[in-house]
Structure 1
Amino acid sequence: MKSRTTLLLTLVPTAFTLGAILLAVYFYSIELSNQQHRLLKEALLASKMAELRGYVKLARSALPAQEQAEGVADLLSRLDFGTDGYFFLYDDKGRNLMHPRQPDLVGQDLMEMRDPYGGTPIKDLLAASNQGGGFVYYYWNKPSERRTVRKLGYVEPVSPYRWMLGTGLYVDDIEQSIRAFDAQARANIHGGLLVLLAVSVLCILLISGTGLALNLRNQHRATEALRQLARRVVRSQEDERARVARDLHDGIGQILVSIKWLLETAMATQGRTTSPAAVLPGKLGSPQSFLQRALERLGQALLEIHHISNDLRPAALQDLGLAAALRSMVLAIGEEGGPRVRFSAHGAGGELTPQQGTALFRICQEALTNARRHAAAQRIDVVLLSASRRVILSVRDDGKGFNPQRAHAGGDGGSGLSHMRERMLMLGGTLSIDSTAAGTTVTAVLEPRGAA
C-alpha cells in the first residue's frame, strides 16, 4: 500500500505537469498559427496588389505607340496571365471597350450594372480611376468556374484617350492559398502534439517503471531489514534469558544450595544437643552458628537478586529517572574498583518515554562494560545533556580503541554494538561510535517526548 501511494504521489503531479505543458503548447501553437495567418494574409494581399500594379504598368508601357483604339484593344486582349488573369478597358462613360473573357460585353454601357449583392463595380472602378488609380473590391463572374466571386481589381486612367485600364485577381484564389497554409499549420500542430503526447506517455511509463522498481527494491530491503531486526531481537531476548538463567544458576542457585545445607546441618545438630555449650571445640559448631551463616548467605542471595533485578529493570530508572539511574550505576562501578568513572548531567529537556530511558540506560551500561572489559580504560566520562529538542548521552573512555566495523562483522563484541544501534533505530534516534588509539566515544541522540 505504501509503495502504491508513493507511486501515485509521483505519477499524479508528473501527469498533471505534462498535461499542463501540452495544453500550454497547444494554445500557444494556435495563437502562433493565428498570428501567422494574419501575417500571411497581409503579405499575400500586399504581394498581389504589387503584382496587379506591375501588370497595369506593363500594359500601359505598350500603349503610347498605338494611335487607334482598336489597335490598343487588340493588343491588350492578347496580354493575359494565368487561368483567370486578363485586362479590361472602359471609356470614361462606363462603356466596355475590351473584355477578352466576355466579348459579349464589348460596346455595352455598364455604368449602372449591379452585381448579385447590389454593388456597382464599374462605377466604383471609374471612381478610383478618376482619382488617379487605385484598388477596388467588387464581385465579378469568374470565367473558369462560371460563378460570381469577390475580386480585387486595380485600375489606372489612360491618357489622352480618357480610358480606364485595369486588371484583377479573384480573392478566392488568395483565400485558397491561406486555407492551404492553415491546413498545413494545423497538421503541423497536431503532429507536434502527438509527438509530445507520445513523449509524455513514454516519460510517465519510464517514471512509473523506475518508481515501481525502486519501491519494490526498497520494500524488499525494508522487509529484509525487518527480518534481520526480528532475528536480532529474538537472539537478544534469548541471550538475555540465558544470562539471567546463568546468573540464577551460578549465583542464587549456589547460595540457596548452601543455605539448604546449613539449615539441614543446624537441624541435625539440634537433634544431638539442645545446648550450644555442649558442642565440643573443633566440632561442627552449634545450631545457632549454622543459622547465623544461613542468614548471611540469605543476605547474599537477596543482594544477588537485587543485582539481577537491577540489570533487568533498574528501580532508580523507574522511580527517579534516567540521570539518577546513571549516577547510581556509576557509583556502583566506582565501589567495585577499576577505572575512574565520572558522571555529569546538564539541562532539563523534554520528558523521555520509558522505552527511551531504558534504551539510553542500556547503551550506557553496554558502553561502560566494553570500556572496562575490552578497552583497558583508566578513566571514563559519562555525560547526559538534555535540551528542548533532543537528549544526548556521551560515554568517553581513554582505552586502546577498536574498529567498530570489524568488531561488528567479526562478532567480537559485535552483538552489543548491534543491540545499541537497533535500540536507537527502533526509537528513531542515532548512534555514533568514534574510536581511535586514544580512546572511544559512544554518542546516542534521541528526541524526547516533550520536544517542541
Structure 2
Amino acid sequence: MKSMNVLKHLNLRGKLALIVGWAVASMIFLVALSLGMRWQDLRQEPRTLASDLVEMASGILDRYQKQEQAGALTREQAQKLAIETLRSMRQQELYFVVLDKEQRLLLHAARPELENQPARGGRDAVLPAELLQTALQDGSGFADYEAPRPGAGKPVQKTAYARHFPPWDWVLSTGVYVDELRGDFSATALRETLLTTALALPLFIAFFRLRRSVRTGVNGVLELAN
C-alpha cells in the first residue's frame, strides 16, 4: 500500500525514472544470476571431467585385475598391461598418475622420468598429500591446487580427482587445468556487461529525451497560461 501511495505522489518524470530504473535493475539482476550459474558450471565441469576419466580408467584396472584372478595373467603382467594402457590414453594435458601404497610413483604419463621413485613432496608433489590420504581413507576425493603444465615451469590452477583401487592398493588420479576456464569466465562476464550496457543505454537516452519533452511541453503550457 505504501508503494502505491508513493507512486500516486510521483510526477510523470518521477514515474519515468522509476520505470527505467526498474528495467535496468532487472537486467543487472538477470545478468548477475546468469553469471553466477555459469561460474558454478565452470567450477563443476573440471571435477566432472576428472572423475569421469578416473572412473573409466578404474574400469580398465578392474578388467586386468579380473584377468589376473582368472589366472590368464600374473599380477606383474596384469599391472604392467594396465599401466601401459593408461599411459597410451594421454591426451595432451590430460593424463593419468598412479601411486602404490608406499607412495611410489608407478605412472606419470607426462613425466615418465619420475616413475618408479618415491613421489615428491612440497611444491613438486605429483598429488597434494591431502588428496592422496583422502583417496586411501575414503576411497576417493577432489583437490584444488597449483601445478605446472607439462613442459612449463609456472604453476597454474588445477583440479584433481583421485580414487583408491583396493585390489592392488593403488591410487589412480588425473587433473584438469582450470586457469583457462577462469579466463573464459572473465570473457563471458565482460561480454554480458557490454551487452547489458548496450541494452540499457537506449533506455537512458529515451528517458532523458522524454523528460526534456515533458519539461518543454509543461513550459509551453505555462507560457500560454500566462
Contact kept, 8 Å, 1:114 with 1:121, in 2: the verdict is: no
Percentage of identical aligned residues:
20
1:406 paired residue number? none
Counterparts in 2 of 1:194 and 1:99: CA distance versus 1, 3 Å: same
The letter of the residue matching 2:90 is: D
The count of aligned residue pairs is: 204
Counterparts in 2 of 1:21 and 1:143: CA distance versus 1, 3 Å: farther
CA distance in 1 between partners of 2:85 and 2:32 (Å): 44
The 5 Å alignment of 1:33-432 reads: 33-66=31-64, 67-81=77-91, 83-110=92-119, 113-115=121-123, 121-130=127-136, 131-143=138-150, 146-211=153-218, 214-215=220-221, 219=224
Contact kept, 8 Å, 2:46 with 2:178, in 1: the verdict is: no
Match of 1:165, SS state, is strand
- Where in structure 1 are there 5+ consecutive unaligned residues? 1-12, 224-452
Normalising by the residue count of structure 1, what TM-score does the alignment of the two structures yield?
Answer: 0.40
1:281 paired residue number? none
The letter of the residue matching 2:123 is: D
Shift of 1:28: 4.8
Contact kept, 8 Å, 1:94 with 1:123, in 2: the verdict is: no
Larger radius of gyration between Structure 1 and Structure 2: 1
1:7 paired residue number? none
Structure with larger RCO (C-alpha < 8 A, sep 6+): 2
Shift of 1:63: 2.3
The letter of the residue matching 1:89 is: V
- Where in structure 2 are there 5+ consecutive unaligned residues? 1-10, 65-76
Shift of 1:170: 1.8
Return structure 1 stretches of 4+ with deviation > 6 angstroms.
Answer: none
The letter of the residue matching 1:39 is: M
Counterparts in 2 of 1:198 and 1:124: CA distance versus 1, 3 Å: same
CA distance in 2 between partners of 1:88 and 1:191 (Å): 48
CA distance in 2 between partners of 1:153 and 1:52 (Å): 6
CA shift digits 1:143-167 (9 cap, x unpaired): 3754212211111112422111111
Counterparts in 2 of 1:120 and 1:158: CA distance versus 1, 3 Å: closer
The letter of the residue matching 1:42 is: Q
Counterparts in 2 of 1:147 and 1:201: CA distance versus 1, 3 Å: same
CA shift digits 1:87-140 (9 cap, x unpaired): 2111122221112222232223125x1128xx8944222212111111112221
Normalising by the residue count of structure 2, what TM-score does the alignment of the two structures yield?
Answer: 0.74
